[in-house]
Structure 1
Amino acid sequence: MAALQLPCTIFKTQNWMDDYSARDMRYGDLTEIQLKTHYGLNYISDRADPWTLTKHSAFDNPRSMFCCSMRPAGDKITREQCATILFDEFRMLSRQFSLYGPYRYLIEKMITHMQYRNGAPFRDISLDRALKEQIVRDTSSENSTRLRLDKAFNTFIDWDNKNYPMKNKDDLRKAIAFGKLPKFDRLKDNFNGMGITVHDTWATHITLKTLQIDNERYRAVVHYKVQDHFGLDDDDILKEKFRTFNFFRIWFLLQRYKLFGYKPFMTNMEATVEITGGRHDV
């Protein structure tokens, strides 16, 4: 019976890695008229007006008691100055989504990356750590890809020949496909910074690196490669719950408005986990 040759990629999402044609990777493609009429983005920022390139005051904020009565003309600013003001406000507003924990600083770091790195991919050791924690701490036997792989290994390993049969390779893919891929959509992710930096993910590749079988026990080393897009598409901004926040309005404008066109980027994460079990495990 032919054995599975390792390392072996056992799962890939339908979405591609490095898919720069994805809708949330568009940038600099919308006009002022489109942003105002189709997306309802008339008021963007409490600090600057990107349409007139002027600074804002309390008289301009529609949530202010002083708005719309006496409205002195704001100071004129350049496009570059306006972008700087908007990015500073973007970072400040991000803090409402990252209140505590070791990952709370990541969103500001990623906003700065968008401002200065011209679409270059983003990596950070903290993202790798967050991914590994999410995989290891998921104890749902129904959803956890780690626990579902454990069950598949236990079921399909050829214990007599001490290998995993090639004919059962697709059972590993199915084990993962019927679970829930690691993502950051838990309640706590709304406040610890991971929900706003990553939340859902775009593409995932899972590779079985090694599989050691001895004394009716096995030890598998499994590598997760996960990619997300730090960018917004039309569906994001057209949702009322997002469009009401200046945070998302500023993000969408900086990314999609022709005057700015700051590039979204790929967020890359990797984690290697060890899965162990035995022939007679229940």
Structure 2
Amino acid sequence: MAALRFPCTIFKTQKWMDDYGAKDMRCGDLTETELKRRYHLVDVSTRVDPYSLTKITPFRQPQSMFYGARGEGEKMTRRECARVLFDEFRHLSQSFTLYGPYKFLIEKMITHMQNSNGTAFRDMALDRALKEHIVRDSTKNSTRLLLKDSFDRNIDWVNNIYPAEKKGQLRDAILSGRLPKFDRLKDHFNGMGITVHDIWSMHITIKSLHIADNRYRAVIHYKVQDHFGLDSDDISNFKFYQFRFFRIWFVLQRYNQFGFKPFMVNMDVSIEITGERNENKK
């Protein structure tokens, strides 16, 4: 019986890594007319008008009964306007990050969008959040626990190997579970829901499997990627459109006078799964 060789990738999502052609990775592709007519993005900011590049005063708020009575506001450069929009973008993000060790991440990612011209983003806090999610998930859909069950059932203890012919059962274990996503109730308040929420692509690899003395130790690597960007479906959904936060984000990214680039968000973690012979029979 042949042994499965490691490292061994057992799962990949259908969406691939580094997909810069994805809809939410577009930038600078929409005109003022398209933004206003197709997406109804007229009331974008409380501080500046991104189309006329003017400051907004209380008298120039669209909802003000005195709207238009004082003429045009103070003009500014496109660069100055973008800076004000990003400041408001960061300020509005605070309502999505009420507590927890990850609340600083969204402001850091907004600043990355402002200054880093689309380069990929990494942060140890993201890796830590992902690892915590995987390790603490004790539900029946946990990929970690489902993989452990597959190891418990399929390891050949006589030869101290995992049979190559049973590789498919490891993939089936992943498919029968739920990939780690930051869409739990607490993620709406701790900063992870607004920074990552769903994931775009994931690869799961068994880096090593050591079997000896009726025990085993497996090291599993999760490589995860998300996009910090919005597509047309996002802003057309009232769930997002109702918040000025997302309206500013969409205009900064997609308006052809700004075109700030979205970026890849990368996370990498390794976890350990351990067990012993006949454990699944206890």
Other-structure match for 1:81: 80
- The amino acid across from 1:42 in the alignment is V
Cα offset, 1:63, TM superposition: 4.7
SS at 2:217's partner residue? strand
Q: 1:67 to 1:106 in 2, by over 3 A?
A: farther
1:1-282 alignment, distance < 5 Å: 1-64=1-64, 66-68=65-67, 70-141=69-140, 143-282=141-280
* Counterpart Cα distance in 2 of 1:6 and 1:257: 47
Question: 1:7-36 deviations in whole A, cap 9, x for unaligned?
Answer: 111111111000000000000000111111
- The amino acid across from 2:184 in the alignment is R
Question: 1:39-90 deviations in whole A, cap 9, x for unaligned?
Answer: 11111000000111100111233455x5536344210011001000000000
* Counterpart Cα distance in 1 of 2:164 and 2:98: 47
Say whether the 8 Å CA contact 2:60–2:68 is kept in structure 1: no
SS at 1:59's partner residue? helix
Question: 1:158-213 deviations in whole A, cap 9, x for unaligned?
Answer: 11110111111111111011211111000010010000000000000111011111
* Counterpart Cα distance in 2 of 1:63 and 1:155: 65
Higher mean displacement: 125-134 or 171-180: 171-180
SS at 1:200's partner residue? coil
Identity %: 63
RMSD: 1.1
* Counterpart Cα distance in 1 of 2:168 and 2:142: 18
Say whether the 8 Å CA contact 2:209–2:217 is kept in structure 1: yes
- The amino acid across from 1:40 in the alignment is H
SS at 2:58's partner residue? coil
* Counterpart Cα distance in 1 of 2:129 and 2:158: 38
5+ residue gaps, structure 1, are none
5+ residue gaps, structure 2, are none
Question: 1:212-268 deviations in whole A, cap 9, x for unaligned?
Answer: 112222110001000000000011100112111110000000000000000000000
Cα offset, 1:99, TM superposition: 1.0
SS at 1:204's partner residue? strand
Q: 1:131 to 1:63 in 2, by over 3 A?
A: farther
The alignment's TM-score, normalised by the length of structure 1, stands at 0.97
